[in-house]
Amino acid sequence: AMVVAKHLDMLALDGSTMAGIGVSTKIWRLIAVALAVILGAAGVAAAGVLGFAGLIVPHAARLVVGANLRWQIPVAALGGAVLVTACDTLGRWAFAPTEIPVGALIALIGAPYFIFLLTRLTRVRNGG
């Protein structure tokens, strides 16, 4: 993903702008989807279903470093690793000798964060 980050940044543009600068919209959208599927499948195979981590962290990374994917991708990768590790550690430590599933703790963080994002997006669209 880091190798093609410059071209992935261009996917934020509309199709006519991309064509105007000589970038094939169809090819780069296909590459982006293929990368997302392959990397997502590898992540699920390695760590299990931790859906909120994959949804929370990229949005948080975008808020921290902006829309430039050359910064957003490594920050999101590091942030995801930190979030999952912290939630796993907390789930094992907080209620020892029992464990809380890491997915449940991530969901407890993810739900309020998505409510925050939704209210923020609503305010931005309404001009407030």
Cis peptide before 97 (omega within 30 of 0): yes
Rounded Cα gap, residues 41 and 8, in angstroms: 20
Rounded Cα gap, residues 35 and 19, in angstroms: 22
Per-residue pLDDT band for 92 (boundaries 50, 70, 90) equals very high
Do residues 33 and 56 share a domain? no
Rounded Cα gap, residues 53 and 58, in angstroms: 9
Per-residue pLDDT band for 70 (boundaries 50, 70, 90) equals confident
* Percent of the chain clearing pLDDT 70 (strictly above): 93
Q: What is the pTM of this model?
A: 0.63
Sign of CA dihedral 24, 14, 59, 50: negative
- Given a cut of 70, whether residue 25 has pLDDT beyond it is yes
Burial 84-101 (b: 16+ CB within 10 A, else e): beebbeebeeeeeeeebe
Do residues 54 and 44 share a domain? no
Do residues 81 and 126 share a domain? yes
Give the pLDDT confidence score for residue 21 in this predicted structure: 77
Do residues 117 and 81 share a domain? yes
Do residues 125 and 70 share a domain? yes
- What's the total number of domains in the chain? 2
Tens digits of per-residue pLDDT, 26-60?
A: 888 888 888 888 887 887 777 676 777 888 898 88
Domain boundary among 11, 32, 48: 48
Do residues 82 and 53 share a domain? yes
